[in-house]
């Protein structure tokens, strides 16, 4: 973004290359009603949230014959309409890549995290699932977020997020990992349908470090996923590695 002194948007460029930033210049001129940007952060980025008058939106869409708001529709609207901004100064993080998604989630477990779901001034609610509370049996847990419906048995959890309905079995160790949980509970009665596949969740004596585990994943007894070789990119049978993070 680039603004005039009154805070109106006068220029908008979607994801400019680094070499273009010097040509674009500071987002806010000196004396702007929006305030002065810090010298080390002279640019204002779009969060991708747009509010239009209904008629104006239809006109812009018809005139521009375009579909991309950032690259086409907003720049075209600047030529005909007054486009203003709401300057958001709260927490925001880009999660558009695997490593950014991973870092943003792991950051939530840190004591000094800039964002907390339980902030009493602005708590974050999820939709009700009416699940039982998480259950722990002789576990060691440090700096972790554990969702409802989980059952953890004699395991160690550190700096990790454990999603809903996750079952972590005896002897497992989970460090710096994000587990998205499961969409359903699995019982012993499901054994015939499961066949030779492991139980839903994390098996006995599993070791996970810097891993993203997708929903409804099954990791069998004794598996170790730590990327000890520090591979940056790889595609395997049922797993991927992106920016050094293992994805199951």
- pLDDT profile of the chain (248 residues), mean per 10: 76 76 63 60 79 89 77 83 84 90 96 88 87 96 97 98 97 98 89 82 98 97 96 95 97
Residues in CB range of 175: below 8 A, 6 or more apart: 158, 159, 160, 208, 209, 210
pLDDT given at position 34: 58
State pTM to two decimals.
0.81
pLDDT value at position 177?
Answer: 98
Q: What is the pLDDT of residue 15?
A: 77
What pLDDT does residue 35 have? 63
Go through the domains of the chain in sequence order and give each one's CATH number.
Answer: 2-78 (no CATH), 98-247 (2.160.10.10)
Give pLDDT tens digits for 216-231: 999 999 999 999 999 9
Q: What is the 8-class DSSP label of residue 190?
A: G
Output the pLDDT for position 25: 63
Task: For 205, list phi and psi in degrees, rounded to 5.
Answer: 55, 25
- Using DSSP's 3-state secondary structure scheme, residue 11 falls into strand
Model pLDDT, residue 176: 98
């Amino acid at each position: 973004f680039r603004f005039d002194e009154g805070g109106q948007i006068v220029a908008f460029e979607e994801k400019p290359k680094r070499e273009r930033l010097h040509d674009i210049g500071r987002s806010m001129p000196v004396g702007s009603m929006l305030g002065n940007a810090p010298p080390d952060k002279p640019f204002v980025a779009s969060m991708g949230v747009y509010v239009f008058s209904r008629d104006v939106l239809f006109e812009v869409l018809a005139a521009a014959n375009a579909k991309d708001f950032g690259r086409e529709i907003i720049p075209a609207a600047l030529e005909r309409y007054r486009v203003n901004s709401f300057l958001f100064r709260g927490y925001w993080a880009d999660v558009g890549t695997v490593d950014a998604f991973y870092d943003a989630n792991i950051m939530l477990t840190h004591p000094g995290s800039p964002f907390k779901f339980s902030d009493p001034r602005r708590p974050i609610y999820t939709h009700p699932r009416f699940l039982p509370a998480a259950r722990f049996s002789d576990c060691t847990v440090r700096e972790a977020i554990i969702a409802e419906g989980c059952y953890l048995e004699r395991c160690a959890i550190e700096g990790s997020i454990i999603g809903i309905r996750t079952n972590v079995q005896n002897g497992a160790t989970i460090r710096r990992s994000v587990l998205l949980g499961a969409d359903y509970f699995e019982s012993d009665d499901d054994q015939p349908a499961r066949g030779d596949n492991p139980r839903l969740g994390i098996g006995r004596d599993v070791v996970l470090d810097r891993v993203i585990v997708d929903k409804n994943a099954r990791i069998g007894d004794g598996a170790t996923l730590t990327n000890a070789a520090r591979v940056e990119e790889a595609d395997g049978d049922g797993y991927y590695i992106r920016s050094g993070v293992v994805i199951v």
